[in-house]
Amino acid sequence: MTLEQERMRVEQEAARLESERQAALLAKEELARHAADQQKSQEQLSFELAERTATIERLEEAKRLKEEEVNSWQLKARAAQDDLLKTREELNHVMEQPPPPPPPPSTMLYDHLGDNSDSDSEEGHEAHLDTLHEDYSESERLTEAQKNLRVQEQLKTLTEELVQARDESKKTQNDLLHSANVREGRDKYKTLRQIRQGNTKQRIDEFEAL
**In terms of pLDDT, which residue wins out, 52 or 172?**
52
What is the count of structural domains for the chain?
1
Looking at residue 113, its amino acid is: L
Which helix (H) or strand (E) is 36 found in, with range?
helix 3-96
- The DSSP secondary-structure symbol of 209 reads T
By the 8 A CB rule, do 75 and 174 touch? no
Averaged pLDDT score across all residues of the chain: 68
CA-to-CA separations, 62 to 6, 58, 65, 173, 183, in angstroms, rounded: 83, 6, 5, 12, 16
111 is in which domain, residue-wise?
3-208
Residue 118 has pLDDT above 50, yes or no: no
Residue 89 has pLDDT above 50, yes or no: yes
Q: What is the pLDDT of residue 142?
A: 53
Q: How far apart are CA 53 and CA 2, in angstroms?
A: 75
pLDDT, mean of residues 107-118? 46
pTM of the model: 0.32
Per-residue pLDDT tens over the stretch 43-53? 888 888 888 88
